[in-house]
């Protein structure tokens, strides 16, 4: 269902009226985690002024350590809905188990399946049955084929509004959190008709790498970027080291506009 063999045209997926796909390079940005209404609104306004059309933000955070901030849950979803009402930006947020798909879908415009859940088949089937577009992140140890098969689980349930997201894979390199597999972009686009975006924030895990990796992603043909921003990364409850601040965002806005015009 997601293969390009039977569907040669590349697909465009609409999220709250915003198209993602060929000729529609999209910037999705916002805080890694929703912390407070003020922090989320500030991050959304930063994102919007850099050209982001969709707001990201985690209310349910699947963290490596059980002692790390796990997100605000439904209170976080309510904050996202309020910020959407204030900014007009449709919301992309993660769902971490099949039981909460209905709840998250009642607030979100797009359901994110994170790297740690890429092969949670019950979750894939549940988002496949939901009537909301899905952002499917690549498992950090998954091959491209396994990633596409995960998308197939979603599609098999009737939901073809899927956007693939390359977010780095685990390699021997320790200088970065994960290694952005840039070749996955053209390969996934050749094998599948689904749009493919890149997350330069969670792959590198470092602010100084977000702009270079963004340039690389767009040059490789990515259909969009999903990026962490925070008004005060120094006190962020989640992944502050990779969050962009205003000055970087200005440059990012220029980079995405200029490169998109060149492509």
**32 near ligand PEP, judged by CB under 6 A:** yes
Burial class for 64, CB neighbours closer than 10 Å (0-12, 13-18, 19+): exposed
In DSSP notation, 110-162 reads EEEE-GGGTT-HHHHHHHHHSSS-EEEEPPTT--HHHHHHHHHHHHHTT---E
Question: CA distances (Å), 228 to each of 61, 186, 205, 210, 213, in order?
Answer: 14, 24, 10, 9, 13
Q: How far apart are CA 225 and CA 27, in angstroms?
A: 5
**230 near ligand PEP, judged by CB under 6 A:** no
CB of 32 to ligand PEP, least distance (A): 5
**120 near ligand PEP, judged by CB under 6 A:** no
Residue 204, token pair as written in the block: 């590198």
Cβ atoms 2, 152 nearer than 8 A: yes
**202 near ligand PEP, judged by CB under 6 A:** yes
CB of 191 to ligand PEP, least distance (A): 21
**128 near ligand PEP, judged by CB under 6 A:** no
Q: Which of residues 134-163 bind ligand PEP (CB under 6 A)?
A: 137
CB of 73 to ligand PEP, least distance (A): 15
CB of 83 to ligand PEP, least distance (A): 16
**70 near ligand PEP, judged by CB under 6 A:** no
Near ligand PEP by CB under 6 A: residue from 39, 40, 70, 115: 115
Contacts with ligand PEP by CB under 6 A lie at 32, 58, 94, 114-115, 137, 167, 199, 202
């Amino acid at each position: 269902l997601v293969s390009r063999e039977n569907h040669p045209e590349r697909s465009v997926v609409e999220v709250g009226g915003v198209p993602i796909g060929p000729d529609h390079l999209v910037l999705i940005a916002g805080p890694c985690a929703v912390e407070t209404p003020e922090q989320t609104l500030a991050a959304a306004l930063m994102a919007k002024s850099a050209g982001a059309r969709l707001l990201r933000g985690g209310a349910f955070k699947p963290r490596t350590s059980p002692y790390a901030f796990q997100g605000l849950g439904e209170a976080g979803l309510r904050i996202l809905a309020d910020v959407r009402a204030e900014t007009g930006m449709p919301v992309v947020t993660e769902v971490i188990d099949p039981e909460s798909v209905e709840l998250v879908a009642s607030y979100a415009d797009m359901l994110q399946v994170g790297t740690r859940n890429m092969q949670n088949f019950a979750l894939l089937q549940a988002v496949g049955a939901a009537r909301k577009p899905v952002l499917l992140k690549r498992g950090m140890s998954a091959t491209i084929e396994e990633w596409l098969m995960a998308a197939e689980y979603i599609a098999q349930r009737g939901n073809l509004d899927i956007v693939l997201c390359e977010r780095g894979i685990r390699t021997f390199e320790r200088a970065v959190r994960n290694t952005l597999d840039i070749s996955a972009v053209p390969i996934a686009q050749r094998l599948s008709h689904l749009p493919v975006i890149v997350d330069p924030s969670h792959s590198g895990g470092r602010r100084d790498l977000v702009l270079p990796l963004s340039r690389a992603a767009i040059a490789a043909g990515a259909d969009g970027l999903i990026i962490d921003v925070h008004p005060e990364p120094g006190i962020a409850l989640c992944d502050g080291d990779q969050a962009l601040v205003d000055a970087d965002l200005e440059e990012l806005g220029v980079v995405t506009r200029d490169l998109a015009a060149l492509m």
